[in-house]
Amino acid sequence: MKNLRIALLALLLAFSHLSYSQVDVSVNPLAAILAYNPKGSVEFGINEDIGIELNGVLNTNTSAVGVSFGSGFTAGLIGKYYFNPDQPRSGFYIGPYFRYIQYKPIDDLGSNLAVFKRGKAGVFGGYKIVSSKRILFEFGLGVGSRVFNNFNADLGLPGFDLTGKIAIGYRFETNNGGVSNRNTETMNNEKEIDDRRKTTSRKKGKKKRRS
């Protein structure tokens, strides 16, 4: 548990140094309202087409009447490649994912049973919309399989994995004054074309005066 937290913190610090222009922070409101499981994610951009998301869930497994059947957490990692985004890291994406799940059930007498630990991996795809005010909406679906578990009994748990995401969040600008490299390059090209036009216009004016 302690080692996993240290590893996640190290990953977070590493990605913060690699972050490109924006950092997206989002939460899943349905998970919090319906299942009482707070779920959030942070996505760092490697460049304008590639992002890496770290996400986590506090699995309370509490019913609507407030009865807890156990507790635990899920930590996940998703690599995203965006296809022809209109703006940095937006639109349709696809990539690999990995999930680590740790859960401690409680029996009818309230005593803790064995702690279950599972790892699952697969392919995740989704779509992200980013508004002009940096508000973002994202939904996606992942399909994979179980990679490992720490208990011998299968307990009827499925070997496949199915995970989804519906989130709302905000994009924070971290550098470049909020202007992406792609937009900066476009602005520089437009300025260069405008300068050429002005130079050509001056030359034509001089020729007319000479004639």
**Same domain (yes/no): 110, 36:** yes
Q: For residue range 52-76, list pLDDT tens digits in order.
A: 999 998 876 554 444 556 778 889 9
Q: How confident is the model at residue 86 (pLDDT cuts 50, 70, 90)?
A: confident
Is the predicted pLDDT of residue 179 greater than 90, yes or no?
Answer: no
Evaluate if residue 5 carries a pLDDT over 60.
no
Q: How far is CA 29 from the centre of its chain?
A: 15
100 and 199 assigned to the same domain: no
Q: How many domains does the chain have?
A: 2
Within this chain, do residues 168 and 211 fall inside the same structural domain, yes or no? Answer: no
Predicted confidence (pLDDT) at residue 107 exceeds the cutoff of 50: yes
Where does residue 178 fall: left (phi above 0), alpha (psi -120 to 50 degrees), or beta otherwise?
Answer: left
> Is the pTM value of this prediction over 0.75?
no
Domain containing 206 equals 181-211
What is residue 100's predicted lDDT score, i.e. its pLDDT?
92
Q: Note the pLDDT of residue 209.
A: 56
Cα–Cα distance for residue pair 138/92, rounded to 1 Å = 10
